[in-house]
Amino acid sequence: MPLSYLEWNDRLFTHYFNDEKRDTEVILYADEQIIEKIGGVNSSIEDFLNAVKNWGGYKLSEFFCQRAFNTFEEWEKKPNLFSFPPYFAYLIFFVYVSTIDDSTGSDSYHRKLNTILGQKYRNTRPQHSFYKMWMLWHDLEDWTDKTATLGQYSVWSLGHHDHVGIPLSQSLISNDEKLKLPCIFYKAKLSPDRLISEEALRDLLVINGESGKYKLRSPLIQFLKENHPSEIVKEEKKQAFRMFLKYIYNELSNWDGQDCDRQDPTQSKGFNTHANICLNIKRMGSNTGIRIKFSNGDSFFTAGSRVVEAENGGQRFKVVCKESSQTPWSKRLEVSDGTNKPWDIRNNTEIWENGVCFFDKSNKVIATLPECDNGIRIFCRGVYSGLDSEYWVETYRVERNCDFLIASRKENNKKLLDWGDKECDFFEEIDEAELPSFVKTWSFFRGKNAVHSLQGFNCLDIPQLVSIRLVGGLRLKGGVKNQYLQTNPPKIFLINGLGTEVAIFKVFGSSRPLPVVFKDPQIWEIPRDAPSGEPIKIEIGYIESDNNWRKVAQIRIFLIPATINVANDLPKTDRYGEIISNFEGSEDAPYLIGVKVFT
């Protein structure tokens, strides 16, 4: 006997939302194969479609979308009657429509929906009450935000189609493929702090997802191969491709950098860790060196420092890597000769050209400083990376609305000066007198707000999409990703924003704007009263001319309260410092447990 509508609703919901999805972003991808698998033995896609189409709902209506809306209203009026949203099967129905091809070759979502509903005569006209469906999608988002224990759904809209765009956005990548993304990121040596160009990201997804263990669906690979960020002509495909890349950038921003492919839980996970050249704008002659930003934080260090081997130009030598208070950065690397002198790289052409690789005692690579990009290295202000504002930190791509420095081989000077004059708000060459002891075959430039790319240099390919970077804060290991100590949360940095975006803080179904702490580019701060132990969603967007909210990026974080485990055998003293005997503890009588001794 075919499953009823409510039986389909139960099976679909528990497939997409369950304990295994806790604290993760859920994609509602639903093609024929997935739906039939959820339905079980002897269930077909026709059974699902008929069950939803013929569902009378809680209030009779001749219109399909109105019946969906009536089901939503019943849920609103009598939420205690349901364990989860009873309208969910309708949403999966809408997503399924976006995964099928129209026999006429049309990309019209409404034509495909009308055809499935047996109403071809409507052609591309929307169904009655279709424009009410946004309320169901947003209600699902709000409900999963409040519960959070079964996974979270977020409303995205593909392009500027505010209603059709929502189910279309769910049809780009499946949940199974989403789970493979961290493995692909790690395999491709990406980092949450190393957001590469759209074209390079597309190529890496194809290379690493076309075959092997992390293989993506053939239609998705074909979709990536057929589209190029700068060559898409058809508007629908352009919007779909940009939406897909936006989603991938969002996943990369949320990724914690860990290798997802470790099977032995007793082994520590691998991390993609990068070294960066850091300049000091106040003491550029004496305070330039290499720092390493460790994704795995203080687990790398023993007794605050560690000796590592560096390989450059075929030669190996030892350097000292010391823990820094500016977590997760190390201090500047030092020469391992007992002098505690920083490793001076200012005039080391080999490093500026070809980078350096760092190894631990087991000869495992722990970090890399990549080679330059056709004779160019880019630096942004340290405040964007969790360092003091006086530092300039090497980055992998120049961004809009940012100050930047460029270090370049002199052969590139003319190209850079022409580009800077035409495409930047400000651009000038730095006088060599300001840069004592630096590589004489290289020049340095200051710039601000690059608007267009310079062909031939990946690091000067201006990004087209917006993404989020978490800056600073004390990140905690284990558990869910993006966990931070409640007393030391990160700041929110928007990459490639227009400067007019607003950040919304969402928790428990309520929302409020975040305060801006830096305007150029925008950096936001987590409120001091942010709750701990609950998922916090940071949503960034802007209000369009039609007063609709357009979300451009989002991220979720968790704040964990600081706890102290106190041993029972430590001394207890009263307010006068006298040791309390027969201590039983009291909320009314203040007391102190333990002492900290400095020698």
Average pLDDT value for the chain: 81
Mean pLDDT in residue range 197-209? 84
What is the end-to-end Cα distance of the chain in Å, rounded?
79
Mean pLDDT in residue range 349-372? 85
Residue 225, helix vs strand vs coil:
helix
User: Do 413 and 507 belong to one domain?
Assistant: no
Mean pLDDT in residue range 218-245? 70
User: Do 13 and 122 belong to one domain?
Assistant: yes
Measure CA 546 to chain center: 28
Partners of 543 in beta bridges: 549
At residue 146, φ and ψ (nearest 5 deg) are: -75, -40
510: pLDDT strictly greater than 80: no
130: pLDDT strictly greater than 90: yes
pLDDT tens for 132-158 read 999 999 999 889 887 767 888 888 877
Show the CA angle centred on residue 214, arms to residues 213 and 215, nearest 5°: 95
Count the Cβ atoms, other than its own, within 10 Å of residue 395.
23
Which H or E element spans position 146? helix 134-147
User: Do 365 and 382 belong to one domain?
Assistant: no
567 in any annotated domain = no
Considering 74-83, 215-224, 482-491, 576-585, the range whose residues carry the highest mean pLDDT is 74-83
Which H or E element spans position 52? helix 45-53
pLDDT tens for 8-32 read 999 999 999 998 887 777 889 999 9
pLDDT at 266: 40
Residue 541, helix vs strand vs coil:
strand
pTM of the complete model = 0.70
Burial 111-146 (b: 16+ CB within 10 A, else e): bbbbbbbeeeeeeeebbebbeebeebbebbbbbbbe
The answer to whether 368 touches 487, Cβ cutoff 8 Å, is no
pLDDT at 265: 40
pLDDT at 595: 55
User: Do 138 and 77 belong to one domain?
Assistant: yes
At residue 558, φ and ψ (nearest 5 deg) are: -125, 135
Count the Cβ atoms, other than its own, within 10 Å of residue 342.
18
Tokens of 591: 């007391």
pLDDT at 268: 43
294: pLDDT strictly greater than 70: no
Q: Which of 350, 369, 388 marks a domain boundary?
A: 369
Residue 164, helix vs strand vs coil:
coil
Measure CA 294 to chain center: 17
3-state secondary structure 189-207: CCECCECCCHHHHHHHHHH
320: pLDDT strictly greater than 90: no
508 in any annotated domain = yes
572 in any annotated domain = no
pLDDT at 390: 79
Residue 533 maps to which CATH number? 2.60.40
- pLDDT-based confidence at 164, cuts 50/70/90? confident
329: pLDDT strictly greater than 80: no
Walk across the sheet containing 467-471 and list its strands.
Answer: 467-471, 491-495, 522-525, 516-519
Mean pLDDT in residue range 413-424? 96
User: Do 541 and 479 belong to one domain?
Assistant: yes
The answer to whether 195 touches 396, Cβ cutoff 8 Å, is yes
Domain that holds residue 81: 5-169
- Taking the CA atoms of the chain, what radius of gyration do you get in angstroms? 28
Residue type, 50: N
Tokens 């470790």 locate to 262
User: Do 36 and 163 belong to one domain?
Assistant: yes
207: pLDDT strictly greater than 80: yes
pLDDT tens for 441-471 read 899 999 999 988 898 888 898 877 777 878 7
- pLDDT-based confidence at 296, cuts 50/70/90? very low
State the greatest distance between any 2 C-alpha atoms of the chain, in Å, as a whole number.
89
User: Do 163 and 23 belong to one domain?
Assistant: yes
Q: Which of 429, 460, 491 marks a domain boundary?
A: 460
Beta strand 592-593 with 572-573 is antiparallel
pLDDT at 331: 83
pLDDT at 194: 66
Alpha-helix residue ranges (DSSP H) falling in 228-301: 235-254
CA 307 – CA 336 distance, rounded (Å): 7
Give how many domains the chain has, as a whole number: 5
Partners of 443 in beta bridges: 408
HSE at residue 394, side-chain half, CA atoms within 13 A, is 23
Beta strand 516-519 with 467-471 is unpaired
Mean pLDDT in residue range 164-186? 85
Mean pLDDT in residue range 257-283? 62
595 in any annotated domain = no
The answer to whether 5 touches 67, Cβ cutoff 8 Å, is no
Tokens 């071809």 locate to 120
586 in any annotated domain = no
User: Do 456 and 472 belong to one domain?
Assistant: no
- pLDDT-based confidence at 239, cuts 50/70/90? low
User: Do 118 and 154 belong to one domain?
Assistant: yes
Considering 84-88, 123-127, 182-186, the range whose residues carry the highest mean pLDDT is 84-88
Beta strand 315-322 with 334-335 is antiparallel
Least confident of 304-318, 367-381, 400-414: 304-318
114 in any annotated domain = yes
> Is the model more confident about 569 or about 15?
15
The answer to whether 375 touches 456, Cβ cutoff 8 Å, is no
Q: Which of 374, 363, 369, 378 is nearest to 348 (CA)?
A: 369
- pLDDT-based confidence at 297, cuts 50/70/90? very low
> What is the per-residue DSSP string for 322-356?
EB-SSTTBB---EESSSS--B---TT-HHHHHH-E
User: Do 13 and 132 belong to one domain?
Assistant: yes
